[in-house]
Amino acid sequence: MKFLLNKKIFGILISLLFIGAIISQVDVDKTILSFGLMNPVFILPVIPVYIMSFILRAFRWNFFLHNPGLRFNSLLSSIFIGFSLNCVLPARAGEIYRAYFFSKKENLNKTKVFTSVILERIFDGITLFMILAVTIYFICPGKLFSKIALIAGLVFFSGFIFLLVLSKIHEKGDKRKKIKVFLLKILGFFPEKLKKFAEVLIDKGFLIFHSFIEGLIMLDSWRLLIRTIFFSFLIWIMEGSCMFFVIKSFGIEISLLGALLVLSVTAFSSLIPAGPAGIGPYQGGYMLALSVFNIEPELAFAVSVINQLLVVILVLSAGSFFVWKEHVKLEEIKQNLKDEQESAEF
């Protein structure tokens, strides 16, 4: 758990740096007045639309897991619990707890479940890249957002191609066996104690690698890929709609396409390993995107705070409900993760 602790400290520092930079750029009094511009009526549609996006996420997650026997309630509760933990843990550490909790609950291979979460992030990144590319073309052609889109496209498409290539390795089991035999032959020159320790590591490594490859099986199905892409766009359009209503609640004239621009820039900025809920980078990305529409930084900051606060309240409420319903003991999961990490290090 030392790794998670280091990420926590680093994430909080990043958030503090962003918050400090933002505060230095805004008039505090003007920002406080901006909060009074919000019309709560526009917030009402956000709740059902945002909850529906999570229901779609649960359906989509089953595509990645490629297991029709999984219970929908279990998928939905695990997603809400994981996202709620992202609100209180830095650097999206809730994803680790989500995968571990779900694998334990459904008695699934942990590596396969972690692989599904990686696939989920890759598809989200590709979807957001496409949305950003379209919004840049129609709204704000320019170097800054084009660079963000270029970097995001390179990262996520490279990740997708890499995983697609790896998924083909499961068809070449004989080649993997030959690699293992070759490595064991090299170990013949090692002292006996070191040789046995290395053999254990190789066996464990190949077992994890094999499970990881099996977790990529959905990439072999074009039908599943198309359905996954379709659901990914639906999910993010719904989240963009939520952002549209929040921005409109402050009297800002913006189209749904404009809200999708704000969504994609904010989502990519939230990938920066910051503190709980991505505080800091979230506001920075939000303000940067709204500057395209000549929105003053004080008003943009106020909108970003309300948007994030609303999302956090909804996710934490749903996550707390499922923690209570599922009788989840987070400390027990944390301890199990710690024990597994220590056994792996040993």
For the stretch 49-108, pLDDT in tens is 999 999 999 999 999 999 888 999 999 999 999 999 988 887 677 888 899 889 988 999
Contact (Cβ atoms closer than 8 angstroms) between residue 129 and residue 156:
yes
Nearest-angstrom CA–CA distance, 170 and 214: 7
Helix 281-290 vs helix 297-325: crossing angle, to nearest 10: 140
Question: Is residue 37 very low, low, confident or very high in pLDDT (cuts 50, 70, 90)?
Answer: very high
**309-340: per-residue pLDDT in tens?**
999 999 999 999 999 998 887 776 666 666 55
**What is the helix, strand, coil percentage profile of the chain, to 5?**
85, 0, 15
Please give the model's pTM, rounded to 2 decimal places.
Answer: 0.89
Give tens-digit pLDDT for 154-197. 999 999 999 998 887 665 555 656 666 676 677 666 676 776 77
Query: Is-contact 212 167, C-beta < 8 A?
Result: no
Count: domains in the chain: 1
pLDDT reading at 209 higher than 60: yes
- Side-chain-side CA neighbours of 156 within 13 Å: the count stands at 21
Supply 32's token pair: 């406080």
Q: Is 251 left (phi over 0), alpha (psi -120 to 50) or beta?
A: left
Structure token digits, residue 5: 């602790």
Question: What are the counts of helices (DSSP H) followed by strands (DSSP E) for the chain?
Answer: 14, 0
CA distances from 115 to 164, 167, 211, 273 (A): 13, 11, 9, 20
Domain housing 200: 2-65+72-345
pLDDT band, very low/low/confident/very high, at 143 (cuts 50, 70, 90): confident
